Structure 1
Amino acid sequence: MSIGFLRQALNALQKRSPLAGRSPSHSRTSHRVNQWFKWLSPGLSIKRWLLISVGGVLLSILGLAIWVKLTPIFWMLELIRGFLGAIANILPNYISGPLVILGGLLLLLWGQTRTVGSITQVLRPGAEEELIDVLLAHRRLYRGPKIVVVGGGTGLSTLLRGLKTYSANITAIVTVADDGGSSGRLRQEFGVLPPGDIRNCLAALADEEKLLTELFQYRFRAGDGLTGHSFGNLFLTAMSDITGDLERAVAASSRVLAVRGQVLPATLSDVRLWAELADGRIIEGESSIPKAGGKIVKIGCLPANPPALPAAIKAIKEADYIIIGPGSLYTSLIPNLLVSEIADAIAASVAPRIYVCNVMTQPGETQDYTVADHIRAIDNACGGRRLFDAVLVHKKSPSAQSLIRYAQQNSHPVFLDREAVAQLGRRIVLANVLYEDETGFVRHNPQKLAKVLLKWYSGAHHGK
């Protein structure tokens, strides 16, 4: 009889019981029985070790019997046989036998549960979740698909926050072209790669996300040289100095911070962006491009062909699913694809690939852009190659309050030009994945976005 069938039978008996749902102690007992059966779930490797433990007990008893020449064991067995014979005179063997077996199993389960409880108190003091629930969640997450997400900025960290509830096999490939704010100052003063986007991704993937985000986002308001710096940026800068480079710093930080997945810089080269505008101007620096106020016709970086991080290429080649975006088109997404090895690896991948289009246009980067314009910009930056199969577009328009707020900044919803997108050979995935705060600020909802992306992946994966 399978464990699942036995559990269903017990649940059915509990539902039929006239006392079901009435007694708190009965409810606690039902919960405890369910928790016991969880230990027998497939994939946890518990049943085999439990059987080996029972076998070890039996062998030890047999060895003891041989050692003492069976004399005490013989009289003990005689005593047990007499006791069982007395029980058999009262109850038939087909009733007493199963009852004794059930009693033995209950004692074994009780002992194992108390043992696990004692271990849990040491390993996870004060934790609300039971150890079995943690193990089941761990098994589910680490059997999840290998997802590679390419991007940067707040859009990437928002997406990671939702994806980490579906899989622990996540690799975030992040741009290192940032040269503004705290990251830019650290880049100039210490010669380190900008840690800002990596900091946000580490916080988003951490188990203690809320606390770590508050800590990493904390900015010093006083102190000679500290003002304006975030703690997370200083932490990663110090780790880079200790470990030797940003890749090792991020790996060490991930272990310390219990990060679910990995965060990788696209390259370890000191990359600087440049953009050619429609009026002929050449603007250098990631932070300067949006401020120039022109239409971008071409974008590149110096050095022109930076080497990719080998671990990033390996992750793309092994990926089950590749997601590009969301994020600022020219200053967060495309900088990763200017690393030609990364673009080549994505183009060669047979995994389902999707682009998450922004909800609103961005002044100085994508003003008046449609969904097809976003797609063309990515294709052009990669030499005309198609790096993704589908594009996810938000279905519902933001509220009037948000539209007014954004219109004041010359930002508007990205228009979906269906025919143009179809001509570009991309499938359209429409979904309501918007989060809007009380001030009218628009973001992707992490949970809704991740749910839609995993649903599309399941369909694309099984459709192959």
Structure 2
Amino acid sequence: MLLGPEVIGKLRHTFHAYRKMLFSPSRRQRWLRWLTPGLLVKRWLLLSTLGVLTVGLGLMVWLKLTPVFYTVRFVGNLLNLFTQLVPSYISGPLAILIGVLLIVWGQTRTLGAVTEVLLPVSSEDNLWDAIATHRRLNRGPRIVVIGGGTGLSTLLRGLKHYSANITAVVTVADDGGSSGRLRREMGGLPPGDIRNCLAALADEEKLLTELFQYRFMTGSGLSGHSFGNLFLSAMNEITGDWEQAIAASSQVLAVRGRVLPSTLSDVSLWAELSDGRLIEGESNIARARGQIVGIGCRPAQPPALPQVLEAIEAADYIIIGPGSLYTSIIPNLLVPEIVDAIAARHVPRIYICNIMTEPGETQGFQVSDHIRAIDRACGRPLFDAVLVQKNPPSAAAIHQYRREGADYVHFDRETVLAAGRRIIIANVMTEDAHTGVVRHDPTRLAKILVRWYERIHRTW
């Protein structure tokens, strides 16, 4: 019995409608993205299918093929009856279409269920994006970043989009503000810089930054403390160890990479000024407003955290800075084991020079002065290249900084070249139009650093 033209027309209309729905440009592009190599999805789906077929084959062999005979005969009779009612040129494509629809429907619902569980409710990514991003970041280079303060967290905010294999080595010499109070009252490490880095590396970075940076303005004993500092201190009390507290906090915050203190020792900075004064304490050094001629710590030569040394030994790329030269960067390099580990690595090593000088630390410094200070503190050249800001800030911003005793860090090219350093010049600065504050731009900075690494590591 043949179908009439009206029925065939309806079937054709239905077929075209489903084809348009299933193979629209956006949906086709979404499905084609699953064919991208390296997702580790297609091979497991194929393996599952092969497993189902193998189980079926095993059952048939076990039952001595008896069900196969009856099943084939029944299916053959059913197909003969069906093709008598509906011509093969209609029934064949129709069965294929129904099968494809069932496959697509089942896979879509399966992926949707998995997505609902794995992805946060606020996430705008689909499962493909999440898998592809996870795979790309985990294949990223092993990067060790050494520093502290806002400079380090700014850099991490950009780098986390290129690699999940980031280790941030943070100074533990801070003794001012909320960190200093917690350090004196509870002992252990100052949590401030660790908090900033954890928030910068977190997936939900904006919300967590606001939460971690929230500072209590009232309350007896709470006033002046940030929530993040109290959180880390509480985790330290719960776990009984700062190393475990940071690791546990990283899991809670879904951090990309890890944050490690340079040492677990109770370190206190001291600085010798050109006028003969000896200043004790990190927070007092900048306030002394003198020219620093020497810097050290007590206890001298503190031991490095073993995980830091392991990260440096496995690193593909080592970045120093940006940050306050004497109170954020050099304190990490006062740990001799860290200096030795960096010096022993034959990988790209770069220093990010600050854009502006800092009163009480680097007033009057040029780029070469920053390099010289690090070399002197380490007792040897430690990095191969230096990243320098290309264009100076606006005249208004420079004027405002000069009123506060700071200035633009001038680039003395010949002296830097004479020191044997490669030079990377790029525009990595952002300037607030209202306040005139100059900072490194996390996106531009990370992009330049990754591009330079990709270009240079092939010849290393």
- Of 324, 328, 331, which residue of structure 1 is paired with 2:327? 331
SS class of match (2:164) = coil
Would the alpha carbon gap of residues 367 and 336 (structure 1) be closer, same or farther in structure 2, given more than 3 Å must change?
A: same
Would the alpha carbon gap of residues 156 and 46 (structure 1) be closer, same or farther in structure 2, given more than 3 Å must change?
A: same
- Of 121, 131, 149, which residue of structure 2 is paired with 1:153? 149
Aligned equivalent of 1:318: 314
- Of 356, 378, 381, which residue of structure 1 is paired with 2:377? 381
Q: Does 1:134 align with 2:130?
A: yes
Q: Does 1:73 align with 2:71?
A: yes
* Aligned counterparts of 2:166 and 2:97: Cα–Cα separation in 1: 44
Contact 2:274 2:291 in 1 (8 A): yes
- Of 418, 424, 438, which residue of structure 2 is paired with 1:423? 418
Aligned equivalent of 1:228: 224
* Aligned counterparts of 2:281 and 2:232: Cα–Cα separation in 1: 22
SS class of match (1:366) = coil
1:428 deviation in Å?
Answer: 0.8
- Aligned letter for 1:271? V
- Aligned letter for 1:322? I
Contact 2:356 2:409 in 1 (8 A): yes
* Aligned counterparts of 2:47 and 2:418: Cα–Cα separation in 1: 62
* Aligned counterparts of 2:447 and 2:374: Cα–Cα separation in 1: 25
1:214 deviation in Å?
Answer: 0.8
* Aligned counterparts of 2:352 and 2:385: Cα–Cα separation in 1: 9
Out of 286-295 and 263-272, give the one that drifted further.
286-295
Cα shift readout 1:380-425 (whole Å, capped 9, x = no counterpart)? 0001x11111000000010122111101111111010011000100
Normalising by structure 1, what TM-score?
0.89
1:35 deviation in Å?
Answer: 1.9
Contact 1:36 1:109 in 2 (8 A): no
Aligned equivalent of 1:294: 290
- Aligned letter for 2:404? Q
SS class of match (1:343) = helix
Contact 1:276 1:298 in 2 (8 A): yes
Cα shift readout 1:28-58 (whole Å, capped 9, x = no counterpart)? 8322222222223222222222222222333
Identity value in percent = 63
1:63 deviation in Å?
Answer: 4.9
In structure 1, stretches of 5+ residues that fail to align are: 1-24
* Aligned counterparts of 1:144 and 1:424: Cα–Cα separation in 2: 31
* Aligned counterparts of 1:28 and 1:229: Cα–Cα separation in 2: 56
- Of 54, 59, 66, which residue of structure 1 is paired with 2:54? 59
- Of 40, 43, 54, which residue of structure 2 is paired with 1:48? 43
SS class of match (2:36) = coil
Aligned equivalent of 1:309: 305
Aligned equivalent of 2:187: 191
Contact 2:22 2:28 in 1 (8 A): no
1:452 deviation in Å?
Answer: 0.3
1:274 deviation in Å?
Answer: 0.5
Aligned equivalent of 2:169: 173
SS class of match (1:171) = strand
* Aligned counterparts of 1:280 and 1:188: Cα–Cα separation in 2: 28
- Alignment of structure 1 residues 89-128 onto 2, 5 Å: 91=89, 104=99, 107-124=102-119, 126=121, 127-128=123-124
1:84 deviation in Å?
Answer: 9.3
1:65 deviation in Å?
Answer: 4.9
Out of 151-160 and 30-39, give the one that drifted further.
30-39
* Aligned counterparts of 1:33 and 1:80: Cα–Cα separation in 2: 35
Aligned equivalent of 1:13: none
Aligned equivalent of 2:437: 441
Would the alpha carbon gap of residues 87 and 342 (structure 1) be closer, same or farther in structure 2, given more than 3 Å must change?
A: farther
- Structure 1 stretches of 4+ with a deviation exceeding 6 A read 25-28, 83-89, 99-103
SS class of match (2:35) = coil
Would the alpha carbon gap of residues 26 and 407 (structure 1) be closer, same or farther in structure 2, given more than 3 Å must change?
A: farther
Q: Does 1:263 align with 2:259?
A: yes
- Alignment of structure 1 residues 1-40 onto 2, 5 Å: 29-40=24-35
* Aligned counterparts of 1:399 and 1:26: Cα–Cα separation in 2: 54
- Of 268, 272, 275, which residue of structure 2 is paired with 1:276? 272
1:220 deviation in Å?
Answer: 1.0
1:281 deviation in Å?
Answer: 1.0
Would the alpha carbon gap of residues 248 and 35 (structure 1) be closer, same or farther in structure 2, given more than 3 Å must change?
A: same
* Aligned counterparts of 1:62 and 1:313: Cα–Cα separation in 2: 54
1:294 deviation in Å?
Answer: 1.0
Would the alpha carbon gap of residues 407 and 79 (structure 1) be closer, same or farther in structure 2, given more than 3 Å must change?
A: farther
Would the alpha carbon gap of residues 156 and 394 (structure 1) be closer, same or farther in structure 2, given more than 3 Å must change?
A: same
Contact 2:282 2:327 in 1 (8 A): yes
Count of residues paired in the alignment: 436
Q: Does 1:240 align with 2:232?
A: no
1:76 deviation in Å?
Answer: 3.5
Contact 1:40 1:46 in 2 (8 A): no
1:355 deviation in Å?
Answer: 0.2
Contact 1:290 1:364 in 2 (8 A): yes
* Aligned counterparts of 1:253 and 1:35: Cα–Cα separation in 2: 35
Would the alpha carbon gap of residues 250 and 85 (structure 1) be closer, same or farther in structure 2, given more than 3 Å must change?
A: same
* Aligned counterparts of 2:110 and 2:146: Cα–Cα separation in 1: 44
Cα shift readout 1:273-299 (whole Å, capped 9, x = no counterpart)? 011111111111000011111111110
- Alignment of structure 1 residues 347-366 onto 2, 5 Å: 347-366=343-362
- Aligned letter for 1:418? R
* Aligned counterparts of 1:175 and 1:128: Cα–Cα separation in 2: 35
Contact 2:274 2:293 in 1 (8 A): yes
1:243 deviation in Å?
Answer: 1.1
Out of 244-253 and 199-208, give the one that drifted further.
244-253
* Aligned counterparts of 1:300 and 1:375: Cα–Cα separation in 2: 17
- Aligned letter for 1:330? Y
Would the alpha carbon gap of residues 86 and 144 (structure 1) be closer, same or farther in structure 2, given more than 3 Å must change?
A: farther
1:72 deviation in Å?
Answer: 3.4
SS class of match (2:388) = strand
Normalising by structure 2, what TM-score?
0.89
